[in-house]
Structure 1
C-alpha cells in the first residue's frame, strides 16, 4: 500500500537529504511540498514527479490522503509545525533538531501518543556507512568489553560570519544531535555527562566547538566537533579489553550528494579499500588478528523504510521515545550553567 506524504520546506535539507532517497521508494509518494516562499526555478527539477507545490499549508493539512509530513524548516519552527500537523492527524518526521527544548519534545510525544500517531526525529546518520561498520564490529564482540569510544565530526572553517545567535543553531544541536543519538542507540542512557561547549571563532555566535563525554558504569564515550581542525581525527576510535578498531574516514553520502551524484548511481557513497576501518584484536586462542573491515553501504532512505513500517505495519519506531528524550535532555543541559561541567542524569 502506498504512503502519501508531504514535505514542509524546500531548502537544501529537502532537496539534498530527503527527496533523492524518497523518490526511489515505490511505496512512498510525495504529494505536496509546502514552502512559504515559492521557489519556482527549483520546482522545475521535479516536473516529472507529480508533486504539487504550494505556499498555503492548508493544502497539506486538509488533504486526507496525506498520512506523513516531513518537516524540513528552520529549527525555531519545528515545534509549532509539528504540533499543527499532529492536531490535523498527520504522522510527522522532524529534521534535526527535533525541538529546541525538552519540554517541547515531551509535549509533541504526548500529543502524538494520545492521538495514536507516529512522530520521530530524522536521525539519518544511523545509516551512515561508518556507523554501520562500527555497530557491526561491536556486535561481533571481537573487541571484548568496551572501554572507550571516541566519535568525531570536524571541519576546518576558520571564518565564521553565520550570525547564528541562537543556541539551537550551533554545533551541539546541529551535529551533536546526530553523534549523540548514535551513542545512545548503542549504549542507552549514561549515568553522568561532561560538557565543554564554546564558540571559538566568533564568541558572539552560537557554539562551534564541543566535547561531550558520556559516562557509563565501566566505559565512556567521547563526542567532539570543532570547526578548527585542519588535520582530521579518525571518525571512530574504539577500544575494548581484547582489541581496537579505527575508522578514519567519514560516510561519503554527503560528499556524493554535494557533487550532484544521486543514490541510484552505481557505487554511490561507497568507500574505497583505502577508506576501510582496521581492527586489531586477540582471539579466543590467543592469536593476534589484524584486518581491514569492508564498509557497508550507507542509505539515508532507510529512515523512510522504517517509518513506513511503523505507520503502515505498526512496527516499532526506529528512534524510540526514551532515546529521543535522552538526547534532547543532554543537549539542553549543555546550555544550563557554566562550562565546562559534569552532571548526573
Structure 2
C-alpha cells in the first residue's frame, strides 16, 4: 500500500530534511506541496516528479487521496496547521518543536485520538549516527552501569544581531534543545528532577542562545549543553559507567551531505570518517581495554518507515504521546521563570 502525502511549507526543512528521504521510499507518494508563494525555480525539479504545488491550503486539506501531511513551517504555526490537518482527517507529522506548550500538545493528541488519527513530531535525531553509536556501546555492556552522559550542540559564532523575535519559545532550547532532550527521554523517559541554566550570552535582546540542562534519573545524570561560544572542539557525547567510558567527537554527517546536495541513496552518504569513530576505555575480567567503535549508519528516513507501520499496520508510534508531553514539559518549564533553577518533576509537577 502506498501512502499519498502532502507537505505544508516549502523551505529548507522540506527540501533538505524530508523530501530526500521520502522520495526514495516506495511506500510513499508525495502528491502536493502547499506554499504561500510560488517559487518556480525551486519547484521545477519536483514538478518533474509529478508533485503538484498549491497556494491555497484548502487545496491540500480537501484532497481526499492524501492521508498524511508533514508540517515544515515556522515554529509558531505548528499548532494551527496541525489542528487544521486533524480536523480534515489527515495523519500528521510535525517538524520540531511539536508545540510550544503542554496544553496545546494535549489538545492535538486528544483530537487525534478522537478521530482515530496519528500525530507526532519529526524527531529525526533519534537516528543520528553518533547517538546510535552511544546506544550500541551502552547495549554492549562495556561501560557497565552508566551513571553520567553528556551531550552537546556546540558552535563558534560570536555575532548575534537583534533577532526578529525575542520570544522565549524561539531560542536555543526550543530550536536545538528539543533534539537533545528527546534523545534522553527516548532512552530513559521522564526524569525525576531537572536543573536549568538557560541564558542569552551574546545579545540580551534575543531569546536564549545557551543552555545547560541536567536530567536526573535515580543514579544517572544526563547533561545537555549548547553554546555558540565554543571555539575548541568538544566531544559530541561523553558517557561514564561503572566499567568504562565512551567519547565521540563529531556530529552525524547526514546534515552536511544533505546541504552539499547529496542524496541518502548515494554510496557513502552520511558515513562517518574513521578519525571520528568513538573511543571507549573499559575494564573486563581485571584487564583494561581501549577500542575504536565504528559509527553505525544514521538514517533520518527511518522515522517515515516507522510512521508508515503505525498508520498502515497500527504499530505503536515511534514517538509516544508520553514522550511528546515530557519533552515539551521540560522545555516549557525551563524557559519560563527564573534561571538557574532546579525543579522536582515527581513532587512539584507529578504527571496527572
Q: Distance in 1 between matches of 2:286 and 2:311?
A: 48
Is the Cα–Cα contact under 8 Å of residues 278 and 290 in structure 1 kept in the other structure?
yes
**Equivalent in the alignment of 2:350:** none
Deviation string, structure 1 residues 282-305 (Cα, Å, up to 9, x no partner): 12x222121100001111111100
Distance in 2 between residues matched to 1:38 and 1:112, nearest whole Å: 31
* Structure 1 residue 259 corresponds to structure 2 residue 263: no
Distance 1:155 1:45 in 2: 33
Secondary structure at 1:237 match in 2: strand
Q: Does 1:271 align with 2:265?
A: no
Residue pair 1:164, 1:170 contacting (<8 A) in 2 also: no
CA distance in 1, matches of 2:38, 2:169: 26
1:103 aligns with 2:84: no
Conserved? CA contact 2:8–2:33, under 8 Å = yes
Offset, 1:318 = 0.6
- Unaligned regions of 5+ residues in structure 2, if any? 346-352
The residue that corresponds to 1:77 in the other structure is: 77
Q: 1:233, CA displacement in angstroms?
A: 1.4
User: SS at 1:222's partner residue?
Assistant: strand
Matches within 5 A, 1:155-170: 155-161=155-161, 162-170=163-171
The equivalent of 1:46 in structure 2 is 46
Residues of 2 paired with 1:299 and 1:219: CA distance? Answer: 28
Deviations 1:184-203, CA, capped at 9 Å, x for gaps: 01111110000000111111
Query: Contact between 1:5 and 1:28, CA under 8 Å: does it hold in 2?
Result: yes
Contact 2:3 2:28 in 1 (8 A): yes
Structure 1: gaps of 5 or more residues? none
Runs of 4+ with deviation above 4 angstroms: none
The aligned residue for residue 30 of structure 1 is: 30
Residue 45 of structure 1 and its aligned partner are, at CA, apart by 2.2
1:2 matched to 2:2? The reply is: yes
How many residues are matched?
A: 344
Q: How far has the Cα of 1:232 moved from its partner?
A: 2.5
Q: Which moved more, 1:2-11 or 1:132-141?
A: 132-141
Q: Which residue does the alignment assign to 1:312?
A: 312
Q: How many Å apart are 1:91 and its aligned residue?
A: 0.3
Aligned partners of 1:299 and 1:164: how far apart in 2?
Answer: 33
* Deviation for aligned residue 1:47: 2.7
CA distance in 2, matches of 1:240, 1:55: 54
1:111-260 alignment, distance < 5 Å:
111-161=111-161, 162-260=163-261
TM-score, normalised on structure 1? Answer: 0.98
TM-score (norm 2): 0.96
How far does residue 130 in structure 1 lie from its aligned partner after superposition? 0.4
Q: What is the alpha-carbon distance in structure 2 between the residues aligned to residue 83 and residue 98 of structure 1?
A: 12
Could you tell me whether the CA contact under 8 Å between 2:169 and 2:335 is conserved in 1? Answer: no
Cα-Cα RMSD: 0.9
Report the alpha carbon displacement of residue 101 of structure 1 after superposing the two structures with TM. Answer: 0.8
Q: Which residue of 1 aligns with 2:295?
A: 295
2: CA distance, partners of 1:327 / 1:263? 28
Report the Cα distance in structure 1 between the residues aligned to 2:30 and 2:40, rounded to whole angstroms: 17
